[in-house]
């Protein structure tokens, strides 16, 4: 099996630094993966700080089962990263992030939240899924997130954080940014919040479908 090109490592490491610069995580929380080819992916190593990530802290894993290929222990969440890449051919990047406003809402009851407050949510992010709290790094969490992501581009893990995807690294990061903005709007407005009207969501959803924007 041929080596991963240096430019792929460089792009991945820079994306990790970008995620940190944007405030999408804290210290060692959060993880990122990138499809290299049909069989392999890059993923941040366990315990690594994405803002300080080096090439030596990047694990190469097999998408089929998450097995390590370069001797570096991956994030404990390798299960859902590999699962999403197996089940979504349109996805090449998976980002688990923990931003303040979005994570605050992940600690609220799901039925009390409508995230469609700005057009970017129905257009770029689409419907938002939610899974119950499950032990981080567990097979149960990996299975739940993988299943939820089959039909969604954003999954909230209750009392934990968020997972989003994209056709490339920039698009996954963009989803996280837009979602955090929407969650900030929700929390700042409180009970006076006005969401997009249903007809607007339908119109934007039709535009999203017309562009084939699921996963991109």
* pLDDT at 42 exceeding the cut of 60: yes
Domain ranges of the chain: 6-210
Indicate whether 36 pLDDT > 80. yes
- Cα 106 to Cα 113: distance, rounded to the nearest angstrom: 10
- pLDDT at residue 49 tops 70: yes
pLDDT at 110: 80
Q: Helix, strand, or coil here: 45?
A: strand
CATH top-level class of 6-210: alpha beta
- What strands lie across the sheet with 31-35, from one edge to the other? 58-62, 40-44, 31-35, 93-97, 161-166, 154-157, 128-131
Q: How confident is the model at residue 55 (pLDDT cuts 50, 70, 90)?
A: very high
Task: Tell me if residue 100 falls in helix, strand or coil.
Answer: helix
Angle of helix 6-21 versus helix 169-189 axis, rounded to 10? 10
The per-residue pLDDT for 197 is: 92
For residue range 145-191, what is the model confidence (pLDDT) as tens digits? 999 999 999 999 999 999 999 999 999 999 999 999 999 999 999 88
Is a pLDDT exceeding 90 seen at residue 111? no
Residue 81, burial from CB neighbour count under 10 angstroms (0-12, 13-18, 19+): buried
Structure tokens belonging to residue 50: 């994405």
How do beta strands 93-97 and 58-62 pair?
unpaired
Its pTM stands at 0.94
Q: What is the pLDDT of residue 50?
A: 97
pLDDT of residue 29 exceeding 60, the answer is yes
DSSP 166-206: ESSHHHHHHHHHHHHHHHHHHHHHGGG--PPPHHHHHHHHH
Give the H/E segment covering residue 84: helix 78-87
Active site includes 77? yes
Strands 31-35 vs 40-44: parallel, antiparallel or unpaired: antiparallel
pLDDT at residue number 112: 78
Beta-carbon-side half-sphere exposure of residue 146 (alpha carbons within 13 Å) = 20
Which of these is catalytic: 56, 77, 120, 199? 77
pLDDT of res. 213 = 53
Gap between the Cα atoms of 142 and 211, Å rounded: 29
Closest CA to 93 of 173, 38, 177, 26: 173
């Amino acid at each position: 099996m041929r080596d991963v090109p240096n430019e792929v490592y460089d792009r991945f490491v820079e994306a990790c630094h970008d995620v940190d610069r944007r405030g999408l995580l804290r210290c060692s929380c959060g993880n990122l993966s990138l499809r290299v080819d049909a069989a392999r992916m890059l993923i941040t190593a366990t315990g690594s700080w994405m803002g300080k990530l080096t090439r030596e802290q990047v694990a190469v894993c097999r998408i089929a089962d998450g097995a390590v290929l370069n001797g570096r222990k991956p994030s404990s969440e390798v299960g859902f990263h590999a699962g999403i890449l197996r089940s979504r051919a349109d996805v090449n990047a998976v980002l688990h992030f923990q931003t303040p406003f979005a994570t605050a809402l992940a600690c609220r009851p799901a039925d009390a939240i409508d995230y469609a407050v700005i057009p970017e949510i129905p257009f770029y992010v689409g419907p938002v899924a939610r899974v119950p709290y499950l032990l981080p790094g567990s097979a149960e969490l990996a299975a739940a997130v993988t299943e939820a992501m089959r039909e969604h581009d954003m999954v909230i893990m209750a009392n934990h954080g968020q997972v989003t995807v994209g056709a490339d690294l920039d698009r996954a990061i963009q989803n996280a940014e837009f979602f955090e903005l929407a969650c900030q709007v929700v929390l700042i407005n409180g009970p006076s919040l006005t969401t997009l009207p249903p007809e607007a969501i339908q119109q934007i959803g039709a535009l999203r479908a017309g562009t084939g924007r699921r996963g991109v």
